[in-house]
Amino acid sequence: MATEVKVPVLGESVTEATIGQWLKQPGEPVKLDEPIASLETDKVAIEVNAPAAGTMGQQLFQVGDNVSVGALLALIEEGAAGAAAPAAAAPPAPASAPAPAPAPVAAAPAAAPAESGDPVALSPAVRRAVLEYGIDPASVKGTGKDGRLTKEDVIAAAQAKAASPAPAASAPAAAPAAPAAGGRNEERVKMTRLRQTVAKRLKSAQETAALLTTFNDVDMSAVMAARDAYKDAFEKKHGVKLGFMSFFAKAAVLALKDIPAVNAQIQGDEIVYFDYVDISIAVSAPNGLVVPVVRDCDKLSFAGIEKAIVAYGKKAREGTLTMEDMKGGTFTISNGGVFGGLMSTPIINPPQSAVLGLHRIEDRPVVRDGQIVIRPMMYIALSYDHRLIDGREAVTALKTIKEAIENPTRLLIDL
């Protein structure tokens, strides 16, 4: 008797998802609660776990198909090893050649390599990276959940391959591939549901809000000195590293408390002011940009903020963020500096009214006390909805953040 696998409840107001990938193929053994499929919703990827142990049976949808909550996804047949064997023996049966009786024996070993490099088990982002960098996925050890490959694994393998002198010896063998490299090829990849939603929301933000950006620069000397002085003791006591994000989160709390409009939202014909600060931290995940929410930043310590950021970063890489992790948020911080960005105009995350953009730190000449000195400087940007936030308020909020970072004592005495 087969067990039905149905689309689970996806979250509040979410009724539909897209089949991102099948993690188990028909004929493969399945354990109880083992992930068998990945569904992509508007915000996160959700894994569907097996409701029973057995063998993967019929799959009623293909990758890329849209499915509704409660729809029948697949069937799990009873038995594991016993059912898996007929599945492996099934391919030789259509051949129906009397002589090649040993063929099933040869087919079984061939199935193992196919499984290790099966592109269906890769996420769309990983598949694109594999094609772009020319990496054999079977040769790379995955660091994601259950040993799955991540985009970062593929990039690291490509960098290691480029740095290795070994390819020089195999250059003659690679010569035949040269004509293909010079060709004019095209690849069409369907946008993931997450990417489609990001595109719609960002475009909607541009069309709905009166976006404006104000800039400033920050001398990072004091924060860097504090971090260097206390990072070892901080990590020893709290179990997490002391990063720059917690400083900016606390500095943003000061600014948002002083300028409530930056922490407010327009809802219909009303302005909603919040007496709490929930900061959405933009995180790059394999399937795209996600913004999990660090709640009650105004009440959390530096350690509490760092722990929340680390936990969300891990969940983003593993694809285990939930709808609840992404829900809400009154303000956003996006750090483009980790990718080397010098300056940008970030787009607000609706229905929020402002977003703080951080950028790379670089040594630049500045004037201090009439002298030209070298300081580690960072450009910061505040994009805001001019319908709600006046220019004076935006500039003041950004200036408050700048002053708090340049003099971290302000964070301790709430000034």
From the centroid of its chain, how far is CA 49?
21
Question: One of 65, 146, 232, 390 is an active-site residue; which one?
Answer: 390
Question: One of 118, 136, 386, 414 is an active-site residue; which one?
Answer: 386
Alpha-carbon separation of residue 207 from 198, 200, 280, 299, 385 (angstroms): 14, 10, 22, 34, 11
| Nearest-angstrom CA–CA distance, 12 and 256 | 28
Helices 391-406 + 221-238 axis angle, to 10: 70
- 359 annotated active-site: no
- 386 annotated active-site: yes
Tell me which amino acid residue 360 is: R
Tokens 């003041």 -> residue = 396
Three-class SS state of 335: strand
Query: Per 3-state DSSP, what percentage of the chain is helix, strand, and coil (rounded to 5)?
Result: 40, 25, 35
Is residue 303 within 8 Å of residue 238, measured between CB atoms? Answer: yes
Q: Provide the Cα torsion 261, 275, 283, 406; round to 10°.
A: 70
- Report the run of H or E that residue 90 belongs to, with start and end: none
Show which residues are catalytic: 386, 390
